[in-house]
Structure 1
C-alpha cells in the first residue's frame, strides 16, 4: 500500500512540476499555468469527500487500481493535448483519480496499522516519496522529449495499479459494510474536526503555492536555470520523507497535537526565509519549510479519523483530500498577483497562513483512539 501510494501521488507532484514547462513551451502566463494546478485540485476537492462517504457505507477496494490508472492517464495526456481547455480537462480527470484513491487507502492503512502513528507515518511516507520523485521524473521525461513525451509518465500508474490489484486479490473483498461499522466507536466531534480541517487548509495553501512557484522563484533568486528550480522543488518534496516518519515517532512520544502545533510554529520563520532571504540560503529554508509542513501530515489524518470515529472514510477524504487539495484553489490567485506585481510579492501572504493554522489548533484536545475489532479491512493492506 505504501508503494502504491507513492505511485499515485507522483501525479499530484507531477502537475506542479509541469508548470515551468507549460510556461516555457506554451508561453503561459503565471495565472494560466497555475490554472492547471487549479484544474487538478478543483474536482478533486469536490469529489473526495463523496468518495469518503461512499467508503463509509461500502467496501470498494476495486477503486485502488482503477484510481491509479485514472490519475496517471490524465497527466500522461496533458502534454499532448491540442488546446489549453483540453489540458485542463485531462488534468481534472487525473485529480478525480487521485481523489478516488485516498479515502479507501487511508482507511485500510489505518486499520492495518492497529493505531500506530509510526505505521501511518510509513504509509504517508509512500505518498511523499511519490511527490518527491515527481519533479525528477517530469524533468527526465519532458526535458528530454518535450511535452510531447508526457505519455511516458503513465508508467508509474501501471506499476501502482498492479500493486493495488495484488493487495485487493489478497483481501477476499476487504471487509463488509457491517464489519467496517464495528470500528466506529465513540461520538463524532465535529467542532474539533472542522477546526483541524481549517488548519490543514492553511497548510495546504502554503504547500501548493510553494509547489507551483518555488521552482520559478528560486530560478530568479538563486540563478542556475532549470536545474536550480528542480533542486528546490525536490528539496521541498524530499524533506517530507524525513518529516512524515519523524512526525509519527514524535507523536508517540510527545502526543499528536503537541507535535502538530510545534510544526506549524516552525513553518512561520521557515516560509519567511524562503520568501525573503536571498541567495543559496533559500535551499536551507525550503528544507525547514518542508519539515514544518510534513511533520504533521500523517497526524492530520489520524486526528481527523479519531474526531469522526463513525465516519472514518469521510474524515480520510477531507483530511487527506479536500483540505489538502483546496490549496490548489488559491494557486490562480497567487499567479494573478504575481503577474500584476512580482512573484516575491505574491508569495509574501503565505508567511501568515501557518500563524492562522496554529491559532485554529489552540484549545483542541487529544481524541480517544478507537480500536478496530475486525480483520477484514486490515488484510487489505
Structure 2
C-alpha cells in the first residue's frame, strides 16, 4: 500500500476517534439545557473523560513498547463510540460519568499504537504526520456539528446514533494493518532507529504540552457557553465558536508540518506559543464578533506544534516510542481536563470571563519551556533497533524522519 493511501485511511480513522473527544464538550450545552447541570457538574463530565484516559494512555504506551498491538486500533475506536453513544441514554449523572469514562479509555487505547503505526506508514515524514494529526483535528471540528445535528433534533435520547463514526473508523484501519502485517512478514519493514534517551528534554516537553492542554480543554469546555453569553444568548453562536476552535486546529496541524520542513520543530513550536499568548487574551477580553477571529488564531497557534510535539517526544525517547506517544498524545493532554472543574468552580463563584483569564499564562509557560529545548539529532537509517518483546514490534518502529 502506498504511503499516501495509508496515511489517508489512518487520518480518516483518526477523525472518527477524535469525534468522541470533541463530542464530550459538544454535549455540555445539552446537558446544561436538558438536565440543568451546573458549570461544576459539566466540568465533572469532562473530567470523567480525561481522568481514566490520563492514566490509561501511558499504560497502553508501555504495553505497545513491549508488544505490537495493532488490533487496538479497531477495538478502541468502537469502545470510544459506544461510550458516547450511551452517555445520553440514562438521566443518571453517575451513569453518564461512567459511559463518558468508557469512551475516554477507548480514546486512550487508540492513540499510542496509532501514532506508532502512523509514523511507520509516513516513513518519518513531518508533513505526513501532520496530515495524520489533521484527521484528529477534523474529528474535533465535526463533533459539534454532528452532535448538534443529532441531539438538537430529538434530545439526548438520540445519542446512540453517534456510534456510526466508530463503525466507519474501525473498518477503515483494517486495510492499513493488513498491509503492515504483509510488509513485516516479507521482511520489508524499515529498520528501527536507535538512539540515547533525553529524559530531561522529554520532561520539559511534557510540561509544555500540559500547559497547552489546559488552554485547549478549558476553552473547548466553556467556549460555547462563553460565546453564547457574549452574543446575546444565541445557541448558534456557541456552536459556531466551538466549530471555529476545532477547525482552526485542523489548519494549524497542516501548517505546523509545512513550517517544520523549513525550520526546525522547536523553533516553530516556540514562536507559535508566543503568538498564542496574544490570541488567548483576545478571546477573553476583545468584545463582539472579533471573538471568532481570536478563537481561530488561538486554535491554530495551539495546533501548529501538535504533531511536532509527538515526533519530538518520540525522538527524545527513541527506545520508548509507545511511552512517548502515550504521554504526549494522552497523559499530558488529559491532565488539562483535570483543570476543568477548577475553571468551572471559579466561573460559578465569579464569572466565566474571570475563570478563563488565567489561561493566558499557559502558552507563555509553554514558550518559556520550549526556549530550553534542543532539536533532537535525527538518527541515521539502518541503525539496529533495541530488542522488543515481540518480533512484530520491529515492523511498528518509526522510520527516519525526513524533510518531505
Normalised by the size of structure 2, how large is the TM-score?
A: 0.90
In structure 2, do the counterparts of structure 1 residues 159 and 174 end up closer, same or farther at CA, with 3 Å as the change threshold? farther
| Equivalent residues of 2:192, 2:397 under 8 A apart | no
| 2:396 paired with 1:377 | yes
Matches within 5 A, 1:24-173: 24-172=33-181
Residue correspondences, number: 378
In structure 2, do the counterparts of structure 1 residues 104 and 4 end up closer, same or farther at CA, with 3 Å as the change threshold? same
| 2:217 paired with 1:208 | yes
Counterpart pick for 1:292 among 280, 286, 301: 301
Three-state SS of the structure 2 residue aligned to 1:82 is coil
Report the counterpart of residue 350 of structure 1 in structure 2: 359
Point out 4+ residue stretches in structure 1 off by more than 4 angstroms: 173-176, 178-182, 371-375
| 2:348 paired with 1:329 | no
Report the counterpart of residue 319 of structure 1 in structure 2: 328
TM-superposed deviation, 1:240 = 1.2
| Equivalent residues of 1:15, 1:37 under 8 A apart | yes
TM-superposed deviation, 1:24 = 0.5
TM-superposed deviation, 1:184 = 4.6
Counterpart pick for 1:270 among 266, 276, 279: 279
Three-state SS of the structure 2 residue aligned to 1:254 is coil
Counterpart pick for 2:289 among 280, 284, 304: 280
Report the counterpart of residue 199 of structure 2 in structure 1: 190
| Equivalent residues of 1:6, 1:130 under 8 A apart | yes
In structure 2, do the counterparts of structure 1 residues 165 and 372 end up closer, same or farther at CA, with 3 Å as the change threshold? farther
Counterpart pick for 1:306 among 315, 318, 322: 315
> What whole-Å deviation, never above 9, does each CA across 1:64-109 have from its counterpart, x for those lacking one?
0000000000000000123100000010000000000000000111
TM-superposed deviation, 1:169 = 2.8
Q: Provide the aligned C-alpha RMSD in A.
A: 1.9
Report the counterpart of residue 230 of structure 1 in structure 2: 239
Report the counterpart of residue 370 of structure 2 in structure 1: 361
Report the counterpart of residue 239 of structure 1 in structure 2: 248
TM-superposed deviation, 1:116 = 1.2
For residues 347 and 29 of structure 1, the distance between their equivalents in structure 2, rounded to whole angstroms, comes to 17
For residues 41 and 249 of structure 2, the distance between their equivalents in structure 1, rounded to whole angstroms, comes to 28
Unaligned stretches of 5+ residues in structure 1: none
For residues 52 and 369 of structure 1, the distance between their equivalents in structure 2, rounded to whole angstroms, comes to 22
For residues 83 and 313 of structure 1, the distance between their equivalents in structure 2, rounded to whole angstroms, comes to 36
TM-superposed deviation, 1:369 = 2.5
Report the counterpart of residue 7 of structure 2 in structure 1: none
> What whole-Å deviation, never above 9, does each CA across 1:150-180 have from its counterpart, x for those lacking one?
000000000011112232233337859x999
In structure 2, do the counterparts of structure 1 residues 371 and 91 end up closer, same or farther at CA, with 3 Å as the change threshold? farther
In structure 2, do the counterparts of structure 1 residues 74 and 130 end up closer, same or farther at CA, with 3 Å as the change threshold? same
For residues 115 and 378 of structure 1, the distance between their equivalents in structure 2, rounded to whole angstroms, comes to 10
